[in-house]
Amino acid sequence: MIDMHSHILPAIDDGSRDPEMTLEMLEESYRQGITDIVATPHFYINNDNTESFLEKRNNAYDIIKGKISGRDDVPNIYLGAEVYFFNGISRYDGLDKLCINNSKYMLLEMPFKKWSNKVLTEVENIIFDRKIIPIIAHIERYLDLQHGTDNINNLFSLEVIIQANASYVNYMFSRKKALKWIDNNIIQLMGSDAHNMDSRAPNLGKAYDIIKKKLGDGAVTRINGLGKEILSI
Ligand SMILES: [Fe+2]
């Protein structure tokens, strides 16, 4: 099973603190049935540019690659980024290199405030001008903020892929809505968004179990099928 969103690489963002924590997170993910995990460190244009980000990310990955080589009890790791929206993002040169595993899919974190039309136009331009398909990170975290607007429906009408975090399914109070959206194929990808081993630990195995139990194997197969397509595996 695939985890499309995680902060497992060490000392690059507010995720894993060091290589030891990364190994624990990988081992725990594998125990939960995760065979493939996408490392998506935060990318903030105010702090970074693509070149310096990739250098840091690849160095962090090399350290971990050395530690897990030959091991078959940890997931395969793929590289990406969680790109935080910024004005002008659709014209930013370095965007293609932030896509997941050299694909045309990019994990996009939307602004945590009410979106203006300009925001949605930028997303549209990423698709039409750059031919990049945004994967909208943790959709559940924007819903309250867009309440009373058509923003969420307008976003859904674009050629984007919607990702939700495992916690959306795992939490009893949001489970019903999460499962409904998975069943309707609105939520198409799942991620742990794991940052550490305590407050935001790997938890996607539980979510996949719930999805399987409530919606059947087909739903899990569909989510992982799209993940495999994106990763070309
Ligand atoms: Fe994240």
What CATH number corresponds to the domain at position 100?
3.20.20.140
Ligand 1 center to 8 CA (angstroms): 10
Ligand 1 center to 4 CA (angstroms): 10
Ligand 1 center to 44 CA (angstroms): 12
Query: Residue 80's closest CA among 158, 137, 32, 21?
Result: 137
Structural domain span for residue 19: 2-231
Structural domains counted in the chain: 1
pLDDT for the residue numbered 170? 98
Through-space distance between the first and last CA atoms of the chain, rounded to whole angstroms:
12
Ligand 1 center to 26 CA (angstroms): 16
pLDDT for the residue numbered 88? 97
Ligand 1 center to 15 CA (angstroms): 9
Check: CB of residue 24 under 8 Å from CB of residue 197.
yes
Ligand 1 center to 99 CA (angstroms): 15
pLDDT one digit per residue (tens) for the chain, 233 residues: 999 999 999 999 999 999 999 999 999 999 999 999 999 999 999 999 999 999 999 999 999 999 999 999 999 999 999 999 999 999 999 999 999 999 999 999 999 999 999 999 999 999 999 999 999 999 999 999 999 999 999 999 999 999 999 999 999 999 999 999 999 999 999 999 999 999 999 999 999 999 999 999 999 999 999 999 999 99
Ligand 1 center to 37 CA (angstroms): 13
Residue bearing tokens 């293609």? 96
Ligand 1 center to 41 CA (angstroms): 7
pLDDT for the residue numbered 123? 98
Ligand 1 center to 74 CA (angstroms): 20
